[in-house]
């Protein structure tokens, strides 16, 4: 039975990846940080087969203990401070967790592996946010990185450190440059979930309007369940490498709003959305669209959920959740 260690198991991707790996017969260990972390219960309820180990990406010795307990064949480093807007307010903390945390996890993997440095396969959760002020459209593995946020800068550090460990030590280390991926498990601070939840609440009479920032930003949005499959495929490849994972379509926040409100029978949302400068960012990533040709051809990966299906799935899940909460 193969064994996997997932950092960030309490997050959106961690939950989907744990489900995927358990379904494939893996023994799955999930790293949970902090004392009495409330999300531990979420993992235990939603993915009961996961074995919890405690540790923090900023604490190398805790990661080495986690490696010894899990004795993994595969490490998926998904843990990060992942909210871009927050990263300006907490730039140093973001650098320590999202950037240096990668080095700690690589180092824990290297030290655990001993003489056989290709023994443990390593996945790093890199991000399209690294492309920032895009230098090419669409963006591929060869596109120059130009991050626009402290989060993006930290991800660039982790990305190059992963490549460096592959090249320096011959580790099977892969970096997935994943474009935005969403789901009903997405944190409510991210724009897609913020909208799907608000649309559900507005349609049920629980909320009057929604305040948003830049409605003209464009993202290449896919479904998180499809993207964790790409992570797994990377670690089954004969050698570590870097791959862009994206749908190849881009949509604006306005298009997301159109589909989300239409799902609850509202065609004109202009009076229900308030543009609030508090949600503007010091520097914006205006247009992300990925070229996932390499993942398609070398890994056989294909996204399964379309943009309208994704929006509909999220609104429907929030309608169910809000109805259940209101009925309590
Ligand atoms: P998420 O829901 O925000 O999950 C982040 C995870 O990191 C949580 O489990 C969190 O634990 C954990 N974490 C935070 N600080 C930590 C620390 N000091 N030590 C250990 N764990 C810590 O993020 P996601 O959407 O699942 O994304 C997974 C990864 O992919 C992240 O690295 C993200 O940056 C990257 N990524 C995401 C996207 C996307 O569109 N979703 C795209 C590209 C890359 P707590 O629950 O305890 O806070
Ligand atoms: O913003 C605009 C905002 O916070 C998307 C993370 O998973 O994907 C995610 O980062 C866009 C931005 O995601 C609001 O200005 C408008 O242009 O949902 P988001 P993100 O910043 O793209 C990347 C790939 C990651 O790696 C990250 O970890 O939406 N926007 N109004 C808003 N965004 C938010 N959050 N809230 C608003 O009210």
* Whether residue 112 is found in the same domain as residue 258: no
Total count of residues recorded for the chain: 328
Co-location of 237 and 156 in the same domain: yes
Whether residue 260 sits in one domain with residue 233: no
Residues 249-260 have pLDDT tens digits of: 999 999 999 999
User: Residue 279 Cα, ligand 2 centroid: separation in angstroms?
Assistant: 10
Residue 172 domain-assigned? Answer: yes
> Running DSSP on this structure, what letter comes out for residue 252?
E
Strand partners, 4: 28, 74
Q: CB of 176 within 8 A of CB of 123?
A: yes
* pLDDT at position 240: 98
Residues 19 and 115 in one domain: yes
Residues with catalytic function: 127, 129, 151
Q: Is the CB of 183 under 6 A from ligand 1?
A: no
Instruction: Please give the share of the chain, as a percent, with pLDDT higher than 70.
Output: 100
Which amino acid residue places its CA nearest to atom 20 of ligand 2? 84
State whether 163 and 261 are in the same domain. no
pTM for the full model?
0.98
Provide mean pLDDT across the span 38-47.
97
CA of 23 to the centre of ligand 2 (A): 31
Query: Residue 190: CB within 6 Å of ligand 2?
Result: yes
Tell me if 98 CB under 6 Å of ligand 2. no
Residues 154 and 206 in one domain: no
CB-based contacts of 233, cutoff 8 Å, min separation 6: 295, 299, 300, 301
- What's the CA gap between 243 and 203, in Å, rounded? 40
Condensed to tens digits (0 to 9), the pLDDT of residues 200-240 reads: 999 999 999 999 999 999 999 999 999 999 999 999 999 99
Distance CA 312, CA 328 (A): 25
- pLDDT of 139 reads 98
Does the Cβ of 308 fall within 6 Å of ligand 2? no
Domain-embedded: residue 301: no
Q: How far apart are CA 101 and CA 70, in angstroms?
A: 18
pLDDT in tens, 147-176: 999 999 999 999 999 999 999 999 999 999
Which pLDDT belongs to residue 118? 87
Residue of 78, 99, 100 lying closest to 28 (CA atoms): 78
- What is the pLDDT at residue 286? 81
- Environment class of 311 (CB within 10 Å of its CB; exposed 0-12, middle 13-18, buried 19+): buried
Q: Is the per-residue pLDDT at 315 higher than 80?
A: yes
52 band by pLDDT with thresholds 50, 70 and 90:
very high
pLDDT band at 36 (very low <50, low <70, confident <90, very high): very high
Is residue 74 domain-resident?
Answer: yes
Task: Provide the pLDDT for residue 297.
Answer: 98
Q: Where are the beta strands (DSSP E) in the chain?
A: 3-7, 27-32, 51-54, 74-77, 121-127, 173-178, 181-182, 210-212, 218-219, 222-223, 242-245, 251-252, 273-275
As a whole-number percent, the residues of the chain with pLDDT over 90 amount to 98
Give yes or no for residue 203 CB within 6 A of ligand 2: no
Whether 299 is covered by a domain: the verdict is no
Nearest atom of ligand 2 to the alpha carbon of 128 = 24
Measured by CA distance, the residue closest to atom 30 of ligand 1 is 125
Task: Give yes or no: residues 28 and 134 share one domain.
Answer: yes
> What's residue 124's pLDDT?
99
Q: Is 56 in the pocket of ligand 1 (CB under 6 A)?
A: yes
Could you tell me the pLDDT band of residue 276, with boundaries at 50, 70 and 90?
A: very high
Give how many domains the chain has, as a whole number: 2
Kindly tell me the burial class for residue 159, based on how many C-beta atoms sit within 10 Å of its own C-beta (0-12, 13-18, 19 or more).
buried
Reduced to 3 states, what is the DSSP secondary structure of residue 36? coil
On the question of pLDDT at 328 being above 80, the answer is: no
Domain for residue 316, yes or no?
yes
- Give the span between the Cα atoms of 134 and 148, in whole angstroms: 10
Same domain, residue pair 229 and 98: yes
Task: Verify that 148 and 62 share a domain, yes or no.
Answer: yes
Ligand 1 centroid – CA 17 distance (Å): 12
Atom 23 (ligand 2) nearest CA: 180
Mutation choice for ligand 1 from 29, 30, 82, CB with most ligand atoms inside 8 A: 82
Q: Please determine, for residue 125, whether its predicted confidence score (pLDDT) is greater than 90.
A: yes
Q: Provide the pLDDT for residue 327.
A: 85
Same domain for 43 and 100?
yes
- Ligand 1: which residue has its CA nearest to atom 6? 8
| Claim to verify: residue 321 and residue 195 sit in the same structural domain | yes
Q: Give the list of residues 6+ apart from residue 26 with CB closer than 8 angstroms, or none.
A: 1, 2, 3, 4, 74
Residue 97 is predicted with a pLDDT of 98
Q: Residue 209's domain is classified under what CATH number?
A: 3.90.25.10
Q: Is residue 290 part of a domain?
A: no
C-alpha 157/C-alpha 103 separation (Å) is 9
Probe residue for ligand 2, chosen from 84, 125, 278 as the CB with the greatest number of ligand atoms within 8 Å: 84
Domain with 100 in it: what CATH number? Answer: 3.40.50.720
Domain membership flag for residue 228: yes
| Residue 177 resides in a domain | yes
Whether residue 58 has its Cβ less than 6 Å from ligand 1: yes
Say if residue 109 is in the same domain as residue 191.
no
- Mean pLDDT rounded to a whole number for the chain: 97
CB 161 within 8 A of CB 269: no
Q: Is 151 in contact with 88 (CB distance < 8 Å)?
A: no
Domain residues for 318? 187-219+250-285+306-326
């Amino acid at each position: 039975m193969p064994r996997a260690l997932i950092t960030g198991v309490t997050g959106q991707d961690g939950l989907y990846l744990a489900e995927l790996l358990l379904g494939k017969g893996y023994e799955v260990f999930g790293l949970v940080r902090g004392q009495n972390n409330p999300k531990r219960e979420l993992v235990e309820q939603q993915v009961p087969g996961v074995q919890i180990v405690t540790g923090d990406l900023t604490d190398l010795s805790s990661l080495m203990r986690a490696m010894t307990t899990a004795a993994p064949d595969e490490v998926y480093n998904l843990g990060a401070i992942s909210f871009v807007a927050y990263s300006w307010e907490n730039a140093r903390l973001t650098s320590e967790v999202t950037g240096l945390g990668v080095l700690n996890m690589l180092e824990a993997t290297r030290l655990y592996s001993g003489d056989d440095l290709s023994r443990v396969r390593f996945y790093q959760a890199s991000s399209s946010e690294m492309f920032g002020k895009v230098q090419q459209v669409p963006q591929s593995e060869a596109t120059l990185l130009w991050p626009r946020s402290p989060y993006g800068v930290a991800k660039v550090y982790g990305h190059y450190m992963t490549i460096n460990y592959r090249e320096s030590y011959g580790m099977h280390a892969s970096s997935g440059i994943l474009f935005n991926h969403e789901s009903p498990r997405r944190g409510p601070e991210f724009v897609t979930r913020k909208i799907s939840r608000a649309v559900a609440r507005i349609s049920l009479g629980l909320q009057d309007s929604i305040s948003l920032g830049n409605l003209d930003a464009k993202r290449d949005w896919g479904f998180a369940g499809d993207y964790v499959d790409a992570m797994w495929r990377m670690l089954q490849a004969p050698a570590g490498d870097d791959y862009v994972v994206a749908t190849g379509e881009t949509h604006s926040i306005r298009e997301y709003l159109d589909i989300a409100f239409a799902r609850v029978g509202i065609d004109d949302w202009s009076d229900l959305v308030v543009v609030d400068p508090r949600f503007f960012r010091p520097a914006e990533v205006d247009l992300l669209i990925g070229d996932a040709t390499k993942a398609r051809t070398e890994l056989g990966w294909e996204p399964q959920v379309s943009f309208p299906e994704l929006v509909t799935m999220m609104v429907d899940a929030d309608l169910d959740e809000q109805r259940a909460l209101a009925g309590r």
